[in-house]
Structure 1
């Protein structure tokens, strides 16, 4: 494999969550496309939803770059793979720039990703009600770590006059370019939901709204200067991340892709394809049957509780999936996909609906946000991901709870003395709330593909 140079790149970060990173990132990506460039959009951290918005803008999503999931070399290799064939990489930060996986640490932060990949940073700074004080905020972020590599600032929520007042102080005191501002405008408002932003499919007229954002920033942002910052990123060469094929394996794996189940890591899907799998999209909401001739199924996470009635009404598909799993068809079901496999799912209104019934029990809203954040997952029982002792990294983030959430693995919070049992793990099934990141342990993905290959050799395909 030949090493390639990482592309021009820039990170859009902020002092804290809620500063406007996602909408600004999407608008910048759209502006770059209009300028004739081909951008790759990445997300720091484990978040799925922001990548859905990136996908809506770019047509594809480059992936997640996460310093808990991956070491320095892997982060660079994953960026090279996700940005292959692109002119520029735009990386959206997570939370505040320095916020790590535990209080008091920068481990796993956007800062860690920027440092590992040599990516210069542009801060989106909320500017309403401040002027010269903004220079103190920017200066603090620049000096908190000497290698922060903050090269630009975008002021969010202010007028042209307010931006002009603040620019002189910021550039004089901090030596950082003010690239422009985002005016207060309804075009930049997106609704919130219990996991952050609503999914891209649920925003009415999203494409038009993204274009409206880009129209505004075209007049208020110095795009040429931002591209100059990206092109000044330090030269780094690395071999793009790839996984060696699993012998001559070529199983067909059905992967959920619709409004109910749309949370997946691009890196996971690429790894399954590298290993030899053919991925076939299907919709638990809209398809009457599984794709023909499949050897396994990947039920991704999402918001099944918001679509419980429609999922329930698709009885033929539910019964087909239940029968296929009973027959031993390999299946990975994560979070929302796990809820879909249970006997019943309670929607937001408290109404219970029948689901697949491959696993006993029901699910309902819990008391609040459950098991939020990163986990290290240790498998305690042999199964589809490998033998007991197999370790993977991933995350949990859910408000719903299940009667039975599995006890075949142990999830542990990094840097904290907290753990809990989770996951149903058998030779043909991995089902539970954890979202697993396959590059953290390629052998687990390899074992899944191998199980699908063996099932296919039996000649009893689903669909």
Structure 2
């Protein structure tokens, strides 16, 4: 066992919408501008925030999740990516203690900070408070004795108000005030039905990031943040031997463009480590699939926002459907699953034809149809599942698919301490799609099953 400082900071907030993503991005970008090698992480099942992290740090942001993974996997992932950096900035999820059900430490930012023994910096909007803000901070810190070491006050535009808040916090708590961020509409990232607008869609993104960096440099004590990260508890590193995975050499095409961006970085890495050569393609822009492929992986995203363009790319829709009909393994989740159905009906009642592997109509709604963590149990085989396989998952979508009564994968979760269940997914030929998002490191056998399906297809063609 070795010991390493592994400097690290968790950025948390009392609730969603407090500004932790904006401030996390700003800190990452400002430190990177200084030449600090920042390793970004995101707690929870998120795809949009990590894309911003990756863009400003030029290092892939890694998802950490204490419900999808066991604690050993969380620690292995963290140390794997943190080792070759100067500091890890770990953006939290929702409110500090918000996770699964009433357990404040399961799937929450606080739970992750405990696992990683990481100091926490709170992002706290301060409008309408003075001395009460100290009580809020003290309550958040002592509720489960989380190591909150600093606070950044958001939407505090005057120096006089900031000085008042700083004095009351530092007089009544042992938490350092590390600065503030004034109200500035030109650094606000807009939201929509599944979260923030994607990094790839932002207009004037460089100008926005430059303005954010300037504000962070002016109003936030970056040197103190680095110091607090460096003073984190020494991290005991278990040097485990790299497991030699059996490699099966196959070529997998992965859909990636503005409509399909929702992939965990480690899902792609897992396929590569199992022997897959990844080739990316665009369902929006490419006229055909890559050559010499043995399987297709279509992740989530926003096909409903690009439904017209996807429909107009007739040659790509036909190419994917043709591959499905000859038995090529195709796995699609959430947005990718929507794309493989017959059509998408938007909120404006416009209908757009999609690939048509599955005979379902995707209906967009204004409400979440399923949201949160669940567990999957396969009741039938597919290109990713063998009967009895289990894996944890996350669902987050505002559409539903009509005419889908297949009993392929049992989905179960607890809602108000009561177990609820439903079936997920569609299968045709060797194509399988479902709404739930999965992380292969929750059960690596699922990735192995997909690679095996691709290898079997390849051998049939040889």
TM-score range, shorter chain: over 0.9
Seen in structure 2, the aligned counterparts of structure 1 residues 83 and 427 have a Cα distance that, compared at 3 Å, is farther
Q: Give the alignment of 1:152-301 within 5 angstroms.
A: 152-158=150-156, 159-236=158-235, 237-239=237-239, 244-246=244-246, 248-301=247-300
Is the Cα–Cα contact under 8 Å of residues 244 and 274 in structure 1 kept in the other structure? no
Is the Cα–Cα contact under 8 Å of residues 74 and 241 in structure 1 kept in the other structure? no
SS of the residue aligned with 1:368?
A: coil
RMSD of aligned Cα (Å): 1.9
Does residue 436 (structure 1) correspond to residue 438 (structure 2)? The answer is yes
Aligned residues: 457
d(CA) in 2 for partners of 1:284, 1:427: 21
Q: What is the CA distance between 1:105 and its match in structure 2?
A: 3.9
Q: Give the alignment of 1:56-135 within 5 angstroms.
A: 56-103=55-102, 105-135=104-134
TM-score (norm 1): 0.95
Q: What is the CA distance between 1:240 and its match in structure 2?
A: 7.8
Q: What is the CA distance between 1:233 and its match in structure 2?
A: 1.5
Q: What is the CA distance between 1:128 and its match in structure 2?
A: 1.4
Is the Cα–Cα contact under 8 Å of residues 41 and 63 in structure 1 kept in the other structure? yes
d(CA) in 2 for partners of 1:295, 1:256: 14
d(CA) in 1 for partners of 2:260, 2:418: 30
Is the Cα–Cα contact under 8 Å of residues 8 and 230 in structure 1 kept in the other structure? yes
User: Can you give the 5+ residue segments of structure 1 that lack an aligned partner in the other structure?
Assistant: none
Between 444-453 and 408-417, report the one with greater CA deviation: 408-417
User: Can you give the 5+ residue segments of structure 2 that lack an aligned partner in the other structure?
Assistant: none
Is the Cα–Cα contact under 8 Å of residues 303 and 336 in structure 1 kept in the other structure? yes
Between 48-57 and 193-202, report the one with greater CA deviation: 48-57
d(CA) in 1 for partners of 2:262, 2:243: 22
Seen in structure 2, the aligned counterparts of structure 1 residues 6 and 239 have a Cα distance that, compared at 3 Å, is farther
Between 49-58 and 280-289, report the one with greater CA deviation: 49-58
Seen in structure 2, the aligned counterparts of structure 1 residues 428 and 66 have a Cα distance that, compared at 3 Å, is same
Is the Cα–Cα contact under 8 Å of residues 243 and 271 in structure 1 kept in the other structure? no
Seen in structure 2, the aligned counterparts of structure 1 residues 221 and 241 have a Cα distance that, compared at 3 Å, is farther
Alignment match of 1:420 (pick from 419, 422, 434): 422
Seen in structure 2, the aligned counterparts of structure 1 residues 454 and 305 have a Cα distance that, compared at 3 Å, is same
TM-score (norm 2): 0.95
Q: What is the CA distance between 1:90 and its match in structure 2?
A: 0.7
Q: Deviations over 1:110-129 (max 9, x none)?
A: 11111111111000001112
Q: What is the CA distance between 1:62 and its match in structure 2?
A: 2.2
Q: Deviations over 1:378-414 (max 9, x none)?
A: 1111222332111001111000111144420111114
Q: What is the CA distance between 1:274 and its match in structure 2?
A: 1.4
Q: What is the CA distance between 1:425 and its match in structure 2?
A: 4.9
SS of the residue aligned with 1:458?
A: helix
SS of the residue aligned with 1:413?
A: strand
Q: What is the CA distance between 1:427 and its match in structure 2?
A: 7.6
Does residue 33 (structure 1) correspond to residue 42 (structure 2)? The answer is no
Is the Cα–Cα contact under 8 Å of residues 347 and 365 in structure 2 kept in the other structure? no
